[in-house]
Structure 1
C-alpha cells in the first residue's frame, strides 16, 4: 500500500438475509463448516454445505457487491445513495463491526468512527469519563487526552454538562461530544455516517469547517444526504445503488446529478383554483428545444427562451405569470418575474387564450438538474394555477460549487495610495 493511502477496499461484498430464522441457520452452517471442513474427495453434507462467493441462498441479498476504492491522507470520500443502498454497511465493514463475505479491507493508523448516535458511549458515565473511554478506544493515552481535554470541551460547547451522566444528554449534545473527541484527537481515519444531521445548524457549520481542516492530516469517509455538504468538504464522491457502485469520481456535480436521477422525476402536480391551464410550453436554448414535461440540457450561461400558451376561464381578462426554478432538493433557487415583483402582467384574448414569451439572456444557475413551475395569478393575486415540473432543465458547467447560482462580476485591483 502506498504510504499516503490510509483506506483501501478491494472487491468487497457482503450478503444479508431477510429472514431472522434463516439468517441464524445460515450462521450455524458457516460455523460448522469452518470447524469441520470436508476434504475435496468427500461428499458434502447439507448441514455443513459451504457457500460459493457468488451464491445466494433463500431470502439472501447483496448489501454490498464488488466495491473498490482508495482514500489517501488529505482526501474526503463522500458516500451518497438512497436509504438501503449499502452506505452504513460499508462503514461498518471498514470499522471492523461486520466481516465481509468476500474482498479485502486495509486500514492504516488510528480509526475514529461516528457510525451510530451514541456508539461507543456509556450512558451511565459522565461526559468527562466518556471522553477518556472514547479516546482509549482510539488508542490514545490518558496523558494525551488530558492535554487535549480543554480543547475537546471547548469545541463541544457543553462544559456546563460535562460532569452529568450521558443518559441525560440530548441527541445533539451526544453528537457534539462525540465529534469533538475525534476532531481534537485527530485520528488518521475518520468515518462519519449522517450523525451530523442531528446537531443544530451552528454546530453543523462548525463541524464541516473542522472536517475541512482535518482533511489535511487524515482520510475521511463522509455519508450524507445533504448535497451542499458534499460539495463543500468532499474531494471525491461515490454513489451506491443496491450495494453496487453506480458512480465514482472527482466530478462532484456529475455524482450528485446521478444521485438525484435515482429518485426519478416524480409526477407533475397542479394546484390553484383551476381557472387557468397551461396548454403548451416550448423552451429553446441555441439549437436545443424542449416541450411541456420534457427535459432540456444546456450549457451554463446560455440564453433560454420559454414560450407559454395559457387558457384562462371564469371571466378573467388579465392576470400575472411567473416561472419558479427548483433544484434537485426541491428548494426554490430562482424566480422569473418580469417588470413587476408579483409576476409579469398580461391580458388575454376574447377566448381566454394568451401566448407569452420570457427571454432569460444568461441562465446563471450552477451545474445540476432543475425543474420549472408555472404560476398564474389573477390581478388581485389569487392563484389560478400552479403547475409544477412543467420542464426539466439540466445545466452543464465546466466547474461547480455548492452555491445555487454563479454570478459574473467586474473585478479590479484598487491599491490604496
Structure 2
C-alpha cells in the first residue's frame, strides 16, 4: 500500500451504532431469554425500548483515518465508556455497524487486560500475543516497553501488587510501543504523574501518523492538545460532532451551568438572596466574561436576626474539577457595605481577571469576629465561564509584555 493511500485509510467506521441496557437485572435476563427464542437479538433489528430499558448509546456515527485522533467527551453517564467497549469488541451493539481495521491497542480501564497473578513481564507477552504479535516481535520490543513504563525493578512482580500508576505506565507502554493501528485511551492518563503524562503525549505525537487514536478524557486541555476532531456525547447521543474542538469544549463547559445551592453551614442569621455579575448577560444560565475584563460581583443577603457587627465575607473560586484556586481579599473597616435591619448589599470587584479558559464556581463564607466564626457557608452560589481562544492546563493565564533588555 502506498504511503499516501495508507495515510487516507479509514481504520474505524461507526455507522448508526446504538446500545440499550435495562435498569433491572432480573428484567434484563428475561428480555435476553425472549430475544434468543424470538431470534431478534444481536444486531438484526433496532427495536423500540421496552419497560425499564434505556439507550446508553444512540445513533452514533463517525469515521477515523490513520493519522487522526478523535476525542469523545461528555459528562458521567453520557455513553462514552459504552461506546469504547463496543469499539474494543467487549460488547456488541444492538443496532448499527462497527468496522475496525488492523490491530487494536486499548487502555479502557485501569489494569484491564492484565492477569493480576502474573508478573508484569508475563503480561507484556500476553498482551502482545492478543494484539497479534509473535513472541520474537515482542522480545524485540520488551526492553523498550519496560524502560518506558519505568518499572524495571518491579517487572517480575505480580501485577496485583502494582500501584495504579504502575499499571497505567505498563498498560500505556505495551499499547504504545507495540504501535497498533488503532489506539483507544480512556481516562487512564488521569492517574499518572505530570512527567509521565508529558511522555505519553510525546509518544502519541510520534505514533499518531501511523495510528488512529480514540481519546476519552474529562481534562479538556488534554483533549485540546491531541484531538483533531471531536464528539460531544449527552445521554448517549451526539450533541456535537466535527473538527471544531474549541466549540465542543465550550459546549461541554456550559453543562456545568446549573446552579445548585449547597448550604454547608447556616446558623439562621443571614440568607443569600441574590448574586450576579454586573454588566454581563446570562447565556443558558451561565455568565460569560472575557479574559482580562473586570469581574464585578453583586451580593444581597437578607437578615433573619438583628446583628451588631459587620460580617466578614470570604469569596472563594473553584475550577471545574472543584479545586480551590483563589480567594478574594475579605472586607475590612474601609469597605463600603450597605447594611440595614433586614438586609446586606455590596459589590466586590476584581480587576483584569486572568483565569484561563473554562468554567469556575464561587463558594462563600460569611463569618464574624477575630476567630472568623462561621455564620453561613454556601457552595456553588454562581458559576461563570471565562472566554479565551487558548485552552491551557494551569488555572491562570497571566498577561505579560516581552521586550528587549536595554
On whether the aligned pair clears a TM of 0.5, the verdict is: yes
Task: Find out whether 1:284 has 2:292 as its counterpart.
Answer: no
Aligned residue pairs, count = 392
The TM-score with structure 2 as length reference comes to 0.81
Query: Displacement, 1:153?
Result: 0.7
Question: Larger C-alpha radius of gyration, 1 or 2?
Answer: 1
Query: What CA distance in whole angstroms lies between the structure 2 residues aligned with 1:194 and 1:350?
Result: 49
Change (3 A) 1:344 1:272: farther
Cα offsets for 1:11-65 (capped at 9, x unmatched): 222334443422431442365899xxxxxxxxxxxxxxx9643434454433321
Query: What CA distance in whole angstroms lies between the structure 1 residues aligned with 2:117 and 2:275?
Result: 63
Cα offsets for 1:170-197 (capped at 9, x unmatched): 4443332221111222212111223344
Change (3 A) 1:152 1:300: same
Task: Find out whether 1:114 has 2:107 as its counterpart.
Answer: yes
Query: Displacement, 1:216?
Result: 4.2
3-state SS of 1:67 partner: strand
State the match for 1:297 in structure 2: 288
2:266–2:375 Cα contact (<8 Å) kept: yes
RMSD (CA atoms)? 3.5
Query: What CA distance in whole angstroms lies between the structure 1 residues aligned with 2:61 and 2:157?
Result: 43
1:125–1:166 Cα contact (<8 Å) kept: yes
Query: Displacement, 1:257?
Result: 4.2
Query: Displacement, 1:245?
Result: 0.8
Task: Find out whether 1:363 has 2:372 as its counterpart.
Answer: no
Change (3 A) 1:118 1:11: same
State the match for 2:401 in structure 1: 410
Query: What CA distance in whole angstroms lies between the structure 1 residues aligned with 2:185 and 2:111?
Result: 13
Identify the range of structure 1 (15-24 vs 197-206) with the bigger mean alpha-carbon deviation.
197-206
Query: Displacement, 1:210?
Result: 3.4
Query: Displacement, 1:389?
Result: 3.3
5+ residue gaps, structure 2: none
The TM-score with structure 1 as length reference comes to 0.79
State the match for 1:7 in structure 2: 12
Q: 5 Å matches for 1:72-221?
A: 72-199=65-192, 203-221=196-214
Query: What CA distance in whole angstroms lies between the structure 2 residues aligned with 1:104 and 1:378?
Result: 63
State the match for 1:40 in structure 2: none
5+ residue gaps, structure 1: 35-49
1:253–1:368 Cα contact (<8 Å) kept: no
Query: What CA distance in whole angstroms lies between the structure 2 residues aligned with 1:196 and 1:141?
Result: 28
Cα offsets for 1:261-290 (capped at 9, x unmatched): 5466242134355545545445223xx357
Query: What CA distance in whole angstroms lies between the structure 2 residues aligned with 1:89 and 1:333?
Result: 33
Cα offsets for 1:186-209 (capped at 9, x unmatched): 212111223344555654454344
Alignment counterpart, residue 235 of structure 2, candidates 221, 242, 248: 242
Task: Find out whether 1:336 has 2:320 as its counterpart.
Answer: no
Query: What CA distance in whole angstroms lies between the structure 1 residues aligned with 2:357 and 2:150?
Result: 37
Change (3 A) 1:389 1:164: closer
Change (3 A) 1:297 1:219: same
Change (3 A) 1:376 1:263: closer
Change (3 A) 1:405 1:112: same
Task: Find out whether 1:22 has 2:30 as its counterpart.
Answer: yes
Task: Find out whether 1:397 has 2:384 as its counterpart.
Answer: no
Query: What CA distance in whole angstroms lies between the structure 2 residues aligned with 1:119 and 1:373?
Result: 38
2:253–2:358 Cα contact (<8 Å) kept: no
Query: What CA distance in whole angstroms lies between the structure 1 residues aligned with 2:227 and 2:257?
Result: 25
3-state SS of 1:132 partner: helix
